[in-house]
Structure 1
Amino acid sequence: MPLRPVALATLFALAAPTLAAEPPLRLATLARCGDLLDSRQQDWCLGVRGLGSTTPTLRLGDQPLPASSVQRDGDTLRLRIDAQAQHSAPLWLEDGARQSNAVWLTTGNSHVVAARPDEVAQNMDGLTTYVDLVSVIIEESHDGRQEAQRLADKYGARVVGSIAPLNLYQLRVPAHDLTQRDALVLRLGSEVSVDAVVIEESAAEETEQAAAPRPKPEPEPEKPAADSDEWAANRFVDAVNYYQRRIPGRQAPIQPQPVRIGLIERDVDFDTADFADYLGPCAVPRTCVYARDAAKPDAHGSTVAGILAASWNNGGNTGLLRGLDKSSGGFEVIVERNSDAGITANIAASVNLVEDGVRVLNWSWGIHRVGARTVEGEEVDSLLRSGIAMSGYEELLEEFFLWLRKEHPNVLVVNSAGNGASFSGTDDYRLPSSFVTSQLLVVGGHQRSERPGLAVQDPGYAVRRRSSNLDRRVDITAAACAHASTTEAGQTGAVHCGTSYATPMVAGIVAAMLSINPQLQPAQLRTLLRRSSLPIGANYDFEPVDAEDLTAPILPSERQHRLDDPDVGRSARLDMQQALELSVQSRDRPR
């Protein structure tokens, strides 16, 4: 007997909750597995949330991958690709109408292994350090792969990872405690072919830790303001308005170019209002975000990425590059950290990203040496590393910037100055901001002052955030406070502050400048940022008074060679609109 319309409606109503309850498809982890040294056949392990009974289709870029290349084990997928036949591209999953977030899959071969919880120990400084994983930087006169294998054979170790462009190879050594490891480190370091040994001092993979201690939170400003109010000190909205009007202008329109930006961060929450519309395929000329999916909305990576790419008017963050969508050539924001193997993994990810065409790297991270002092003379208590670890990191970073200068001189790294109220300009205190190279731009943090009625051009309009690192190695300051992402549209996110969030403000405007004039080189970008900057702080006439230089002092050459300009001698504060204007002007000037 046929069902009546009322009965059919009842059945559909009962089925609707089941259909609506289908979980979202999210790509949570993506990491090299198997033999990390195989440059041809690459194995990738994917952790997926929301898998159904059928295995979804995997797409690399706009091409579906053959089902024969994918193996499934519960919520984990194992993918094998031919790195010689494939190119780096966003990887995403499709299961019927459901689409996952896209994660950047690099065919670059710089990958290192992270320690498990049972492979770390506490050193004498109370810091977590790897026991049986160390990295050696081989002298450039040697074949790195061959020499690393020789050393492994000599010391009973195994080569498990590498950053081949830097001649760095990661070894799993036969050490069961720190005494044995340190003895092997000394012996490896004495080898003629070894330039340096890098030991990692960072926690094991976060997802494998049962109850990792939360870092001490940075104090919030006394009166946290909305990001629109804080960002007024950098003329954020003015810059967006200028770009939207000037680039497609009727007279002398500019054909903007796409720009690829790399963020060394862990993940982004695609279940937030800020990032919900980045699921599935994405291609320039719009802004695209490629990242692993985070489990909570207010994580560090979501806030940093949100300053660049969050959708507008949803109550959370507000993305600079997203605001340029209708006028730009598109921006690809790649959030990538390689593995959770600390600083070594950060550099491995950076190398892969640069080889994949990234022009701007955002490093919202840094470390202080144990014993570093604040400007008040107290000990810094955050992001500490021992002296032996710092010396290895320093060699690693030096190799990276030497490689960058030789092979990729057009790439700019934008780095946070740090939040230790300390000094950025000496390796006794801070890495990597202490490096002096035209390809590293260091960003300090400021917040709005409480003095009413000041024009934005007034040096007192903003003041240094009290925790921001400082000194003349800092190139420029930017607003340090932003709103975190939220799960529902219309909610106001919590205020997050620190130089981590000032850094993408600068990285974003640099990317916009490059979209206008892709011929700009790192030194030229710094010059334009400094020439366009607003003043901040008192005028000390170049005399360092109580270490109160927030940035390198503004020079007469950065003010049209006017010795009497009132900005000369003060510190530099980001002016986003003026930086864009100078970028437009640079197109017509001989280089």
Structure 2
Amino acid sequence: MAVISWNAGRWVPALALVWVTHSALAEPPLRVEQLQRCGNLLTLDVQEFCISVRGLEGSDFQVKLNGSVLPHDNVQQDNGLLRVSIERESTDSGPLWIEQQDHASNPVWLTLKGSHVVAATAQEVADNMDGISTYINLVSLIIEESYEGADEAQRLADKYDAEIVGMIPPLNTYQLRLTANNLDERDALVLRLGNEVSVDAVVTEESGAEESIEREAITTPPAAEDDQEWASNRFLDAVNFYQRRIGRGGDEIDTHPIRIGVIERNVDFDAPDFADHLGDCRADAQRTCVYGRDADKPDGHGTTVAGVFAAAWNEGGNSGFLRGLDDVGPGFDVIVDRNSDAGITANIAASVNLVEDGVRVLNWSWGIHRVGAMDVNGEEVDSLMRSGIAMSGYEELLEEFFLWLREEHPDVVVVNSAGNASSFSSRDEYRLPSSFVTDQLFVVGGHERSEQDVPVNDPGYAVKRNASNIDMRVDITAAACVRGSSLIADEQGEAHCGTSYATPLVAGLLAAMMSIDPALTPAQLRMLLRRSAMTIGEEYDFEPTDADDLTAPILPSERANDLNHPDIGLSARLDMYKALDLTVQSLSRER
């Protein structure tokens, strides 16, 4: 086994001083804080990755990928970073982590699929006429499918004195760095590029580094009894059912490992909720594993979303649904990745890589509204706004993604948050990506516990979360409020509320259903979700969407064609237990 050694004196003095200071107080944890493509981003045969590691002292350490130690010649230290070279033919995408002495870092997912876009620096952004921060000199070209994307992108780059700096090859999309110095110059070049016969669309990026996630500005803590929130979706009943019926003592159903892609920035592995995910998690074939960059605080959006999937139980913070299936499950991989800070374009690049790496479920707890979007009260939406030109490019990029998904990966599902603007999810001129209509996209609204003392299956047990977006495009609602992670064991985390946190409840359930029957199609999964759903709200007799319609109404076909069923016309609320039960029943019928 090869061991990689570095001389401490080669690290930059500032970093060395910080490490010595910390070591005098407490040994700093070993954490991978960043992993991104570097060097020539357009090469695929040999790819370079830059890794930022905290707590790495200059003695012997090992870099492991898929459980194997990388050769000494493949790793270099470069000004406080590790620079790793990987030959694509000799290895596969997989978890990478650092080991030093008896310590192991958090594992991050290293993909070799090659889609990557770069983010603008602070000097490369400016505010447009709508007051939104936008990239000055970086745009992405979606090349018409009849053209060879790489060759045509290079021709256009030469013609406009630009440079190709990023790409999403499966979508025939290439990122160019323009010579523009201001927005007037950029817009002139965008207009000329958009008129090229070979260009389907030009994507201008308007996402700031911290704005591509979606949360409510003000959150109201859930009821004192937090288990009542997830009880509205029969969370514990579902975990118990999987353990009892699917596990070793159950019906001896063969289960199958499922990979979930979570489009988020990072996870705090210092929190007790994730502290046991370090190193070679997959050494235990049946457990749920989390791969992601390390965050510097436990209450971040990514940590909370990932916690709904995979947080440890009874540690005071979250309690992950898939983590509750450990010991009886097939081994779920939860891969947290956003590619780079290049906004929506990076979200799509990361999604393409993850799908090509075998992910079956994508969790998109994000979305955007167009300038001028109106909420249900007729007032303008003021959160996560984008200009018309940006929305047009994003729409084309998302359309290419879902067309590619349908043609190349028809078994993959995307679960998207409906949004938190008290607006409408289905108006494609005002809301993305939830407005897309495709079997492979599931849209999730948010609800919270009502004050009524009624049984859990009563429509009044839960009520719509005021901020949740609504209408016919929403497939189902789920509990919007969860407890975040904490750095202190047994301490209850702060409340987090929004459709962002309802979404992973549905995504985790879909992954569990796929683990029982991996042959289920997206259409069949939606049918099982809707057939199993409890109800919420009042009946509106299929009238046009108004402010009180939460989801698409339950149809007679979703209740065994019983026209008199009391659920008909009501909105759908997630029932995790019943969905698993119906999945097992459908599997029995297939046999």
TM-score normalised by the chain length of structure 2: 0.94
Query: Residue 57 of structure 1 aligns with which residue?
Result: 62
Query: Residue 76 of structure 1 aligns with which residue?
Result: 81
Q: What SS does the corresponding residue of 2:354 show, helix, strand or coil?
A: helix
Query: Residue 141 of structure 1 aligns with which residue?
Result: 146
Shift, 1:379, TM fit: 0.6
Distance 1:118-1:576 versus aligned 2 partners, 3 A rule: same
2:164 to 150, 159, 168: 159
Query: Residue 13 of structure 1 aligns with which residue?
Result: none
Q: Answer whether contact 2:535 2:571 (CA < 8 A) is retained.
A: yes
Separation in 2 of the partners of 1:214 and 1:369?
16
Query: Residue 30 of structure 2 aligns with which residue?
Result: 25
Separation in 2 of the partners of 1:61 and 1:489?
30
Q: Answer whether contact 1:44 1:79 (CA < 8 A) is retained.
A: yes
**Which is further off, 471-480 or 246-255?**
246-255
What is the alpha-carbon root mean square deviation over aligned residues?
1.7
User: For each residue in 1:41-70, what CA deviation from the matched residue of structure 2 results, as whole angstroms up to 9, or x when unmatched?
Assistant: 101000110010225210001100012111
Query: Residue 309 of structure 1 aligns with which residue?
Result: 310
Amino acid at match of 1:572: A
Query: Residue 10 of structure 1 aligns with which residue?
Result: none
Q: Answer whether contact 2:214 2:367 (CA < 8 A) is retained.
A: no
Is it true that 1:497 corresponds to 2:497 in the alignment?
A: yes
Distance 1:450-1:440 versus aligned 2 partners, 3 A rule: same
Amino acid at match of 2:273: D
Amino acid at match of 1:201: E
Query: Residue 427 of structure 1 aligns with which residue?
Result: 428
Query: Residue 527 of structure 2 aligns with which residue?
Result: 527
Shift, 1:223, TM fit: 5.2
Shift, 1:218, TM fit: 2.8
Q: Answer whether contact 1:445 1:477 (CA < 8 A) is retained.
A: yes
Shift, 1:304, TM fit: 0.1
Amino acid at match of 1:496: H
Amino acid at match of 1:176: N
Shift, 1:588, TM fit: 2.5
Q: Answer whether contact 1:316 1:490 (CA < 8 A) is retained.
A: yes
Distance 1:545-1:121 versus aligned 2 partners, 3 A rule: closer
Q: Answer whether contact 2:483 2:492 (CA < 8 A) is retained.
A: yes
Query: Residue 398 of structure 1 aligns with which residue?
Result: 399
Separation in 2 of the partners of 1:400 and 1:546?
31
Distance 1:251-1:307 versus aligned 2 partners, 3 A rule: closer
Distance 1:77-1:55 versus aligned 2 partners, 3 A rule: farther
Q: Answer whether contact 2:528 2:582 (CA < 8 A) is retained.
A: yes
Amino acid at match of 2:140: S
Distance 1:215-1:532 versus aligned 2 partners, 3 A rule: closer
Separation in 2 of the partners of 1:73 and 1:223?
47
Q: What SS does the corresponding residue of 1:234 show, helix, strand or coil?
A: coil
Separation in 2 of the partners of 1:547 and 1:18?
57
Q: Answer whether contact 2:221 2:481 (CA < 8 A) is retained.
A: no
Separation in 2 of the partners of 1:163 and 1:483?
36
Query: Residue 275 of structure 1 aligns with which residue?
Result: 274
Q: Answer whether contact 1:201 1:342 (CA < 8 A) is retained.
A: yes
Q: What SS does the corresponding residue of 2:588 show, helix, strand or coil?
A: coil
Shift, 1:340, TM fit: 0.5
Q: What SS does the corresponding residue of 1:587 show, helix, strand or coil?
A: helix
Separation in 1 of the partners of 2:365 and 2:535?
23
Q: Answer whether contact 1:138 1:196 (CA < 8 A) is retained.
A: yes
Shift, 1:349, TM fit: 0.3
Distance 1:40-1:535 versus aligned 2 partners, 3 A rule: same
User: For each residue in 1:282-330, what CA deviation from the matched residue of structure 2 results, as whole angstroms up to 9, or x when unmatched?
Assistant: 1132110000000000000000000000000010000000000011101
Q: Answer whether contact 2:223 2:449 (CA < 8 A) is retained.
A: no
Shift, 1:256, TM fit: 1.2
**Which is further off, 217-226 or 550-559?**
217-226
Separation in 1 of the partners of 2:380 and 2:357?
40
Amino acid at match of 1:150: R
1:183 to 185, 188, 191: 188
Query: Residue 238 of structure 2 aligns with which residue?
Result: 239
Which ranges in structure 1 are unaligned for 5 or more consecutive residues? 1-16, 207-211
Shift, 1:589, TM fit: 2.8
1:100 to 105, 110, 130: 105
User: For each residue in 1:260-295, what CA deviation from the matched residue of structure 2 results, as whole angstroms up to 9, or x when unmatched?
Assistant: 000000000000010000011011321100000000
Equivalence map 1:509-548=2 (5 Å):
509-544=509-544, 546-548=546-548
User: For each residue in 1:174-218, what CA deviation from the matched residue of structure 2 results, as whole angstroms up to 9, or x when unmatched?
Assistant: 100000000000000000000000000012x46xxxxx9999953
Distance 1:487-1:481 versus aligned 2 partners, 3 A rule: same
Separation in 2 of the partners of 1:545 and 1:184?
41
Q: Answer whether contact 2:214 2:366 (CA < 8 A) is retained.
A: no
Query: Residue 299 of structure 1 aligns with which residue?
Result: 300
Query: Residue 177 of structure 2 aligns with which residue?
Result: 172
Q: Answer whether contact 1:226 1:483 (CA < 8 A) is retained.
A: no
Separation in 2 of the partners of 1:562 and 1:443?
26
2:115 to 88, 106, 110: 110
Query: Residue 263 of structure 1 aligns with which residue?
Result: 262
Separation in 2 of the partners of 1:456 and 1:175?
58
Separation in 1 of the partners of 2:579 and 2:496?
25
Amino acid at match of 1:107: L
Separation in 2 of the partners of 1:213 and 1:352?
18
Query: Residue 413 of structure 2 aligns with which residue?
Result: 412
Distance 1:370-1:124 versus aligned 2 partners, 3 A rule: same
Q: Answer whether contact 2:260 2:334 (CA < 8 A) is retained.
A: yes
Q: Answer whether contact 1:269 1:275 (CA < 8 A) is retained.
A: yes
1:37 to 39, 42, 46: 42
Aligned residue pairs total 568
Separation in 1 of the partners of 2:497 and 2:54?
31
Separation in 1 of the partners of 2:492 and 2:535?
31
Q: What SS does the corresponding residue of 1:371 show, helix, strand or coil?
A: coil
**Percent of pairs identical after alignment?**
64
Separation in 1 of the partners of 2:564 and 2:138?
57
1:196 to 191, 198, 201: 201
Query: Residue 3 of structure 2 aligns with which residue?
Result: none
User: For each residue in 1:117-158, what CA deviation from the matched residue of structure 2 results, as whole angstroms up to 9, or x when unmatched?
Assistant: 111110000000000000000000000000000000000001
Query: Residue 12 of structure 1 aligns with which residue?
Result: none
Q: Answer whether contact 1:226 1:482 (CA < 8 A) is retained.
A: no
Shift, 1:493, TM fit: 0.2
Shift, 1:225, TM fit: 4.2
Distance 1:116-1:460 versus aligned 2 partners, 3 A rule: same
Shift, 1:21, TM fit: 2.1
Q: What SS does the corresponding residue of 1:588 show, helix, strand or coil?
A: helix
Distance 1:380-1:256 versus aligned 2 partners, 3 A rule: same
Separation in 1 of the partners of 2:322 and 2:150?
41
User: For each residue in 1:375-423, what CA deviation from the matched residue of structure 2 results, as whole angstroms up to 9, or x when unmatched?
Assistant: 0001111000000000000000000000000000000000000000000
Which ranges in structure 2 are unaligned for 5 or more consecutive residues? 1-21
Separation in 2 of the partners of 1:183 and 1:402?
30
Shift, 1:546, TM fit: 3.1
Q: Answer whether contact 1:286 1:326 (CA < 8 A) is retained.
A: yes
Query: Residue 365 of structure 1 aligns with which residue?
Result: 366
Distance 1:561-1:384 versus aligned 2 partners, 3 A rule: same
Separation in 2 of the partners of 1:312 and 1:251?
22
Is it true that 1:335 corresponds to 2:340 in the alignment?
A: no
Q: Answer whether contact 2:117 2:346 (CA < 8 A) is retained.
A: yes
Shift, 1:18, TM fit: 6.3
Separation in 2 of the partners of 1:563 and 1:439?
28
Shift, 1:545, TM fit: 6.1
Q: Answer whether contact 1:55 1:72 (CA < 8 A) is retained.
A: no
TM-score normalised by the chain length of structure 1: 0.94
Separation in 2 of the partners of 1:586 and 1:356?
28
Amino acid at match of 2:494: A
Q: What SS does the corresponding residue of 2:281 show, helix, strand or coil?
A: coil
Equivalence map 1:558-577=2 (5 Å):
558-577=558-577
Shift, 1:505, TM fit: 0.3
Q: Answer whether contact 1:298 1:486 (CA < 8 A) is retained.
A: yes
Q: Answer whether contact 2:215 2:497 (CA < 8 A) is retained.
A: no
Shift, 1:540, TM fit: 1.0
Q: What SS does the corresponding residue of 2:423 show, helix, strand or coil?
A: coil
Q: What SS does the corresponding residue of 1:84 show, helix, strand or coil?
A: helix
Q: Answer whether contact 1:224 1:495 (CA < 8 A) is retained.
A: no
